[in-house]
Amino acid sequence: MFPTQRPRRLRGTPALRRLVAETELRPRNLVLPMFVRENATEPVPIASMPGVVQHTRDSLRKSAVEAVAAGVGGLMLFGVPEHKDATGSGGIDPKGVLNVGLADLYAEVGDATVIMSDCCLDEFTDHGHCGVLDADGAVDNDATLSLYAQMAVAQAAAGAHLIGPSGMMDGQVGVIREALDDAGHLDAGILAYTAKYASAFFGPFREAVQSSLQGDRKTYQQDPANAREALRELSLDLAEGADLVMVKPAMAYLDILRTVADNSDVPVAAYQVSGEYSMIEAAAAHGWVDRERIVLETLTGIRRAGADLVLTYWAAEVSTWLT
């Protein structure tokens, strides 16, 4: 006679559950995205992202120190410029808000955390696209690559440890790697946005960076209907020299995350994006969900699906819960 099968035996006490837990969520697994606004005199709340602000240079430094003290694994910086143009020149200018913000972060926290930069033109172009436009109004892939190369070098010079090309241009990782090496930034790594989907979950982020986008990005970001495409992008990014790869968004793409993790020989990141954050904050504000439990559950699920690190707007707060 077979013994009684009782899987519940290992669920009976907190100590048992902790002992056999398969997935761990620690502060080091979390990366905090941050926004710095040019010439801001006080932090500016982002209405669609409660608790998140566009920082001044001073509040950016202060919040970075607090996040590092809480144990976060890294900081990802986005810039909000006052002026934009057709080529996104503010993203390349060493005195532009993003590069100044990166330099501020490095001066404040140095190598105590990993400073990551968003290497994309969308925050800096007056048309809001991730690249420059050709005469027909389409994004010009190859013309954009040369600007990404310049942008990456400027970001590495400002202090970024990891460059994050998020524009989904073909060949972007290889071009950036070559430019960084040629400029002597051999130790600057690349966090490739490998599977970035044309998602409705990015809505609040566009408020956060005051996006000028008209239309959509479906000609260069991936179709939410497609999965195999992600493996093709992964293969290309790895061949071009990516040091880490990322899936974005996270929660609606856990199948993609699992597939990428199973096929990657470098660390895998996932970005729990603005829309995912805002939905949970809105539900919690109405008392419909237990905020702390659901935040931890979603982050644990993303880790369980294969993410070595998770970019989340809760990174600093969650890190205080975990320590």
Catalytic residue among 84, 95, 196, 218: 196
- The residue with tokens 């010079």 is 157
Contacts of 223 (CB under 8 A, 6+ apart): 197, 198, 229
What are the start-end ranges of the E strands in the chain? Answer: 30-37, 44-45, 53-55, 74-80, 114-119, 162-165, 189-196, 244-248, 268-271, 309-311
CA distance 110 to 103: 9
- The residue with tokens 């990891």 is 162
Residue 239's alpha-carbon distances to 128, 162, 174, 245, 313, in angstroms, are 29, 18, 8, 12, 31
Catalytic residue among 62, 95, 218, 248: 248
Residue 132's alpha-carbon distances to 86, 108, 125, 139, 172, in angstroms, are 7, 33, 8, 6, 14
Contacts of 257 (CB under 8 A, 6+ apart): 247, 250, 268, 270, 302, 305, 306, 307
CA distance 254 to 247: 9
What are the φ/ψ torsions at residue 170 (nearest 5 degrees)? -65, 130
**Active site includes 84?**
no
> Which is nearest to 167 in space by CA: 236, 93, 221?
221
Residues in the chain, total: 323
Residues involved in catalysis: 196, 248
